[in-house]
């Protein structure tokens, strides 16, 4: 291939926002020569690799702006430590059918059992499939909404939590809410109802949500919308964090 043609292809690829083709043209040509690739196969190879890289960039960007604390997957979860957990139910959720149905999932259990890990894992799967995702703790969301309400920008701030197709709402119930704070949560849940999915984690049983939200009627209204289309997964096993601390202590004792 002449230098003139090579330069022209690279310039055209750059204008078409095909950076991989522009950077790897020589490698593509060498691979085609080595395998005596036909014209259509060559074109298919170039476009497939460019598309794969574009998709990977999209996923990296989506994960970065999602606010998730980590990007662990279902495969990273140690199911053997939680034998009471329904593995098939979790893997069914990981197919992301819940997001397509705009349904919810709730992970309930004491601290340290892996609730956040699984909620984030489902969100990561949704992100890779093409759904928009946002992560927030309940406490942080309430604080952000209260601050926006105080300066007359509640409507625009609500969109942060209602626009994404999947909202991960972590640590529901760790701190009790005043009634005006609970009302902000109700607005988010109500606006997302049958419009987008919520993946939530909580250390409180639903029967205790009246205490969490400071109002039985408001808690019932929230639960009514949340649980209408919802898979509830209770995790009642031992704490991973405690397990890790015990292992570290044993290692230190053995070393000493």
- Helices 154-162/179-192 angle, 10° precision: 50
Query: Which two structure tokens, joined as six digits, stand for 114?
Result: 């892996």
Question: Is pLDDT of 51 > 60?
Answer: yes
In the numeric block, the tokens 């926006």 are attached to 148
Q: Across the chain, where does the E strand assignment appear? A: 104-108, 133-137, 166-172, 197-202, 230-234
The per-residue pLDDT for 3 is: 81
Position with higher pLDDT, 1 vs 2: 2
Superfamily of domain 74-242: P-loop containing nucleotide triphosphate hydrolases (3.40.50.300)
Position with higher pLDDT, 187 vs 21: 187
- Give backbone dihedrals phi and psi of 79, rounded to 5 degrees, phi first: -65, -25
Would you list the domain boundaries of the chain? 3-66, 74-242
Gyration radius of the chain over CA positions? 24
Question: Is pLDDT of 76 > 90?
Answer: yes
Mean pLDDT for the stretch of residues 62-75: 94
pLDDT category of residue 251 using cuts at 50, 70 and 90: very low
pTM over 0.95: no
The per-residue pLDDT for 5 is: 81
C-alpha to C-alpha distances, 61 to 64, 74, 145, nearest whole angstrom:
5, 20, 25
Tell me if 69 sits within 8 A of 116, measured CB to CB: yes
Question: Is pLDDT of 243 > 80?
Answer: no
- Using one digit for the tens of pLDDT, what is the confidence trace for 114-123? 999 999 999 9
- Using one digit for the tens of pLDDT, what is the confidence trace for 146-189? 999 999 999 999 999 999 999 999 999 998 999 999 999 999 99
Mean pLDDT for the stretch of residues 218-240: 92
pLDDT category of residue 244 using cuts at 50, 70 and 90: low
Question: Is pLDDT of 248 > 50?
Answer: no
The per-residue pLDDT for 250 is: 47
- Using one digit for the tens of pLDDT, what is the confidence trace for 92-104? 999 999 999 999 9
Mean pLDDT score across all residues of the chain: 90
Tell me if 146 sits within 8 A of 179, measured CB to CB: no
pLDDT category of residue 249 using cuts at 50, 70 and 90: very low
């Amino acid at each position: 291939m002449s230098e003139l043609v090579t330069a022209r292809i690279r310039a055209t690829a750059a204008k078409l926002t095909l950076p991989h083709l522009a950077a790897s043209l020589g490698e593509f040509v060498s691979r085609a020569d080595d395998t005596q690739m036909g014209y259509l196969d060559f074109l298919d190879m170039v476009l497939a690799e460019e598309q794969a890289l574009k998709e990977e960039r999209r996923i990296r960007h989506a994960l970065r702006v999602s606010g998730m604390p980590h990007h662990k997957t279902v495969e990273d979860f140690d199911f053997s430590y939680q034998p009471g957990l329904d593995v098939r139910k979790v893997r069914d959720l990981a197919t992301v059918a819940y997001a397509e149905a705009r349904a919810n999932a709730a992970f309930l259990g004491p601290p340290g059992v892996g609730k956040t890990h699984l909620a984030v894992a489902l969100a990561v799967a949704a992100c890779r499939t093409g759904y928009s995702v946002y992560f927030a703790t309940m406490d942080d969301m309430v604080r952000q909404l209260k601050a926006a309400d105080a300066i007359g920008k509640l409507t625009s701030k609500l969109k942060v939590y209602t626009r994404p197709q999947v909202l991960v709402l972590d640590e529901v119930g760790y701190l009790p809410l005043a009634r005006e704070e609970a009302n902000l949560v109700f607005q988010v849940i109500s606006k997302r109802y049958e419009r987008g999915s919520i993946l939530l984690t909580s250390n409180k049983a639903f029967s205790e949500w009246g205490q969490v939200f400071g109002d039985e009627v408001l808690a019932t209204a929230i639960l009514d919308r949340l649980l209408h289309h919802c898979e509830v997964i209770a995790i009642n096993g031992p704490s991973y964090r405690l397990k890790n601390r015990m292992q570290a202590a044993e290692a230190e004792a053995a070393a000493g």
